Amino acid sequence: MNQKFMREAIGISIAKMRANCGGPFGAVVVRKGKIVGRGWNQVTSTNDPTAHAEVTAIRDACRRLKTFQLDDCELYTSCEPCPMCLSAIYWARFRKVYYGNTRKDAARIEFDDDFLYREVALPISKRKIPMKQLLRGEALTAFKEWQAKADKVRY
């Protein structure tokens, strides 16, 4: 069963890459033995730097299942997830992830995420893109209201 779903993710990666939809990456979300979401890299075709295969598969599955948590699902992705996708995977709460290519395989074809892995580990003051805190007191208003909100949907 696992190989069938991984082959689907790989097949999507090849088909969509050949169709010039984006890079050679594909993913499927599986729930109870059935594919409930499909995604592929759409960065260049949609001008969206967040439209990686895993993210688009997560969006598709969540839309279809009408939920923001995929804790009873598995993700099959044609390549080891980048830091952004890895974060999305944790936010979605997948129970398991299967991947094909490694991040080193991706680096060999000029999709190198090691820079991002290193950047995330740095203190904010040492990162390449300057980041400066601004208007924290005003921004805390939303957090205080959220904390007191009786009808909030926790996630």
Pairing, β 34-40 against β 73-79: unpaired
Of 54, 80, 119, 145, the active-site residue reads: 54
Pairwise CA distance, residues 31 & 20, whole Å: 29
Tell me, yes or no, if 54 is annotated catalytic.
yes
Q: Which residues contact 5 (CB under 8 A, 6 or more apart)?
A: 28, 30, 35, 74, 76, 98
Which of 11, 1, 54, 68 is closest to 32 using CA atoms? 1
Catalytic residues: 54
